[in-house]
Amino acid sequence: MALQTSIDLRVVPANRFSETAADLVAETLRQQADAVVGLPTGNTPMPLYHELVRRCQRGTIDFSKMRVAVLDDFYGIPANSPISFYGWLCRALLDPLGISSERVLRIPTEGPGIERKCAEYERALKEMGGCELQVLGLGGNGHVGFNEPGSARDSRTRVVKLSAASRAASSAYWNGADVPDQGVTTGIGTILEARRILLLVSGARKAEILRRSLTGPISSDVPASFLREAANAVVIADEPAASLLER
Ligand code: PGA
């Protein structure tokens, strides 16, 4: 089925993927130096993060005021857990860019009072002015953040049960370590409020789910399909990921 969406789809050769994504982050920070950028972890954004660190070292992007909101993490892990997504983000990007914890809105990972903490995360994000740019990866099951299939369009930051597929994918990040069966994620409704959304998709194994996300029904069966209703969503896909799209 042909693409029936106003989404801004940019298909790039694999060797242009990280530069294209980094250009969009750079544009955001040029327009607003203290922009809040929502950031994911996972394999997909790593080339982008390497490129941002390179540009920081060269001095071509000013990250000195950038603020960050963490998209998701595991639930039930201590703040300094070796499998924390926040810790991963620190090592991969925040520390090399010199972004200290005062400029980071961390998603809560522990009870008690996790519902209240999730509501506080939402309130703090609003007080920061909301996300100027929300960067996302695409899960093999169509999730964005940990918004698993079944997530409602108006969902907010909350604890979710992780699907077996997402747990297996997450476990692989830590060489098969046991990972929690619950996560905490920014909601679909929260994500859709970002002024701009950047969905990153790379590799042939994401081709079918990208096709379903962009050309299938808009439904909670494929949470990423809701991004087609966002006012300002950009998809950067490399050629293997875009191989099943008719263009
Ligand atoms: P991946 O994960 O980038 O490691 O494929 C994407 C996601 O689950 O958001």
Q: DSSP per residue over 184-226, as a string?
A: EE--HHHHHTSSEEEEEE-SGGGHHHHHHHHHS--STTSGGGG
Strand partners, 11: 237
Q: What is the pLDDT of residue 81?
A: 94
Ligand 1 atom at minimal distance to the Cα of residue 173: 4
- State how far the Cα of 89 lies from the Cα of 85, in Å rounded to an integer: 6
What's the CA-to-centroid distance between 169 and ligand 1, angstroms? 8
Q: What is the pLDDT of residue 3?
A: 58
Take residue 3 and report the two structure tokens written for it: 């693409």
Q: Kindly state if the Cβ of 137 falls inside 6 Å of ligand 1.
A: yes
222-241: pLDDT as tens digits: 999 999 999 899 999 999 99
Take residue 52 and report the two structure tokens written for it: 């941002």
Q: What is the pLDDT of residue 4?
A: 52
- State how far the Cα of 211 lies from the Cα of 82, in Å rounded to an integer: 34
Q: Kindly state if the Cβ of 42 falls inside 6 Å of ligand 1.
A: yes
Q: Kindly state if the Cβ of 47 falls inside 6 Å of ligand 1.
A: no
- Is the predicted pLDDT of residue 1 greater than 70, yes or no? no
What's the CA-to-centroid distance between 113 and ligand 1, angstroms? 28
Look at the alpha carbons of 21, 26, 29, 31 in this order and tell me if their dihedral is positive or negative.
negative
- Is the predicted pLDDT of residue 246 greater than 90, yes or no? no
Decide if 138 contacts 41 (C-beta within 8 A).
no
Q: Kindly state if the Cβ of 44 falls inside 6 Å of ligand 1.
A: yes
Take residue 90 and report the two structure tokens written for it: 């620190």
Q: Which residues are catalytic?
A: 72, 141, 143, 148
Decide if 73 contacts 86 (C-beta within 8 A).
yes
Q: Kindly state if the Cβ of 108 falls inside 6 Å of ligand 1.
A: no
- Is the predicted pLDDT of residue 21 greater than 80, yes or no? yes
- State how far the Cα of 1 lies from the Cα of 45, in Å rounded to an integer: 28
173-206: pLDDT as tens digits: 999 999 999 999 999 999 999 999 999 999 999 9
Ligand 1 atom at minimal distance to the Cα of residue 44: 3
| Strands annotated E in 104-217 | 104-105, 133-137, 158-161, 182-185, 196-201
- State how far the Cα of 12 lies from the Cα of 175, in Å rounded to an integer: 30
pTM over the 0.85 mark: yes
Q: What is the pLDDT of residue 15?
A: 97
Residue 5's pLDDT band (cuts 50, 70, 90): low
68-102: pLDDT as tens digits: 999 999 999 998 999 999 999 999 999 999 999 99
- Tell me the best of 17, 18, 43, 197 to mutate to test the pocket of ligand 1, counting ligand atoms within 8 Å of each CB and taking the most: 43
Decide if 106 contacts 74 (C-beta within 8 A).
no
Residue 6's pLDDT band (cuts 50, 70, 90): confident
What's the CA-to-centroid distance between 73 and ligand 1, angstroms? 13
Q: Kindly state if the Cβ of 170 falls inside 6 Å of ligand 1.
A: no
Q: In angstroms, what is the C-alpha Rg of the chain? A: 17
Residue 14 CA from chain centroid, whole number: 19
Q: What is the pLDDT of residue 2?
A: 54
33-77: pLDDT as tens digits: 999 999 999 999 999 999 999 999 999 999 999 999 999 999 999
* Residue whose CA lies nearest to ligand 1 atom number 7: 139
